Amino acid sequence: MSDTTRDGLFPVAGGGRRGRDEQALASAAEALRQRFGDRFQTGLSIREQHAHSTTYIPAQLPDGVVFPESAAEVQEIVRIAAHHRVPLVPFATGSSLEGHVNAPFGGFSVDMMRMNRVLAVHAEDLDCVVEPGVTREALNVELRDTGLFFPIDPGANASIGGMASTRASGTNAVRYGTMKDNVVAVTAVVADGREIRTAHRAKKSSAGYDLTRLFVGAEGTLGIITSVTLRLQGIPEAIAGGVCAFQTVEDACNTVILTIQSGPPVARIELLDALQMKACNAYSGLAYAELPTLFVEFHGSGETVAMQSRAFAEIASEFGGTDFAWTANPEERARLWKARHNAYWAQKSLVPGAAILSTDVCVPISRLAECLVETQADIAEHGLTAPIVGHAGDGNFHVGLLFDDKDPDGIERAKSFVARLNARALSMDGTCTGEHGIGQGKRAFLEAELGPALDVMRAVKQALDPHDIFNPGKIFLS
């Protein structure tokens, strides 16, 4: 596959330091086949399953898929790849949205889902150690009897290794932070085949460079994570949540801002615009008003969540919010948040057959209302269909742009909108991605966001992965 391959919106293969080396790929494939037998597969269907297909970026298939079951086997895989200088692309659930798991130069997908053990739970220290293939839902089932839980919830049942690699966050981030706040340490196999450990379990350390944060968010470009040590939280005694509708997005945003700045310690506060509410009602069988709406949740004791809910209702009323209907009933809350987590599929159902470009930006919370209002005006001015949903408590929102990816005009309008959206966020001292990551889809915008600092990132990549083995064609345009 050439370096000029395009996805119809942005270049996806990149002009990086490498191209395909057919002889090296064939030699590495034979070495993997000899070592792993049936755990190395080259069939078309399994290769298709291990390429990107969640959103608008087309699949770019690996030459094979290997299934390690231990850190030692990951080391063997890396040594084979390093010897032949062929690419490796880490893979877990495949739920990323920016082409992270594509193989633009071929190479081999390293499927980590068989490394799915919870290695240790230190309940007294509020932490645990897991392999990268453990999913967040499976981890919380394992932790249930300890009275602890892992709070990061990006919506999809993603793997812990993938969440660490993309620096994921989600609906609980306003209270519990993101993956960068909840990863204590990782072990990772680097380009020479060594497994390194970035930190110990102490609650704080000033011992040298913060290598943990280097790997959290590296998107698999610096090595392959083989274990993650996570911070845990106590399961709240009580949880209450509910919905509140507003006449305008600006009123909803101003409610969020005042709540965060001076109000109760909210655990989740999600914003859905009117079109997103229409989609959720239709897709999830709800009957809420099709107005800009906040989904809110509080964690604590029974008394505190009741007080927090009442305090939020008072703030919302200042901005014309409807009566805040809150409940502590687990089934009702589960139905509400299931609808929120299905927002992507609800968006797709608005225009059957359309492609969807799910993109996100994040701005300082004081600029959130301004950014959202300008974005909605942009959508209306250009006649686009693009519902909005956001983790409003930390200034992060997502736009699901529906368009015809077979129509050149539709593609151009989508491309122009995304460029304007990212420019708008950057002009407000925001970022081109709050939680999706860069992958292939946002590389040009990272250049605009970081400028010369991107050269420092390139230097780190060159130092740790001089032969560009790990997930090439991601993050950097060249």
Task: Please state, in angstroms and rounded to a whole number, the distance separating the CA atoms of residues 478 and 17.
Answer: 7
Give the ranges where 37-184 is alpha helix by DSSP (H).
Answer: 44-49, 71-84, 136-143, 160-165, 173-176, 179-182
Angle at 59 between CA 402 and CA 445, to 5 degrees: 60
Give whole-number Cα distances, 33 to 67, 209, 396, in Å: 11, 38, 44
Q: Which 8-state DSSP code applies to residue 106?
A: B
**DSSP letter assigned to residue 59:** P
Alpha-carbon gap, residue 61 to 325, rounded angstroms: 48
Cα separation of 93 and 371, whole Å? Answer: 32
The Cα 13–Cα 20 span in angstroms is 11
152 near 137, Cβ under 8 Å?
no
**How far is the CA of 275 from the CAs of 166, 362, 425, in angstroms?**
28, 20, 22
What are the C-alpha distances in Å from 304 to residues 242, 243, 307, 412?
15, 18, 5, 51
- pLDDT tens per residue, the chain (478 residues)? 333 333 445 444 444 556 789 999 999 999 999 999 999 999 999 999 999 767 678 899 999 999 999 999 999 999 999 999 999 999 999 998 899 999 999 999 999 999 999 999 999 999 999 999 999 999 999 999 999 999 999 888 999 999 999 999 988 999 999 999 999 999 999 999 999 999 999 999 999 999 999 999 999 999 999 999 999 999 999 998 889 999 999 999 999 999 998 867 899 999 999 999 999 999 999 999 999 999 999 999 989 998 988 899 999 999 999 988 788 888 888 888 889 889 999 999 999 999 999 999 999 999 999 999 999 999 999 999 999 999 999 999 999 999 998 899 998 999 999 999 999 999 999 999 999 999 999 999 999 999 999 999 999 999 999 999 999 999 997 6
Asked if residue 120 lies in contact with residue 145, where contact means CB atoms within 8 angstroms, the answer is no
Q: Report the SS3 class of residue 342.
A: coil
DSSP per position, 350-395 = HSTT-EEEEEEEE--GGGHHHHHHHHHHHHHHTT-B--EEEEGGGT
- What structural domains does the chain harbor? 22-112 (3.30.43.10), 118-234 (3.30.465.10), 238-344 (3.30.70.2190), 351-457 (3.30.70.2740)
Report the C-alpha gap between 435 and 447 in whole angstroms: 17
pTM: 0.92
**Cβ atoms of 15 and 3 closer than 8 Å:** yes
Q: How far apart are CA 432 and CA 449, in angstroms?
A: 7
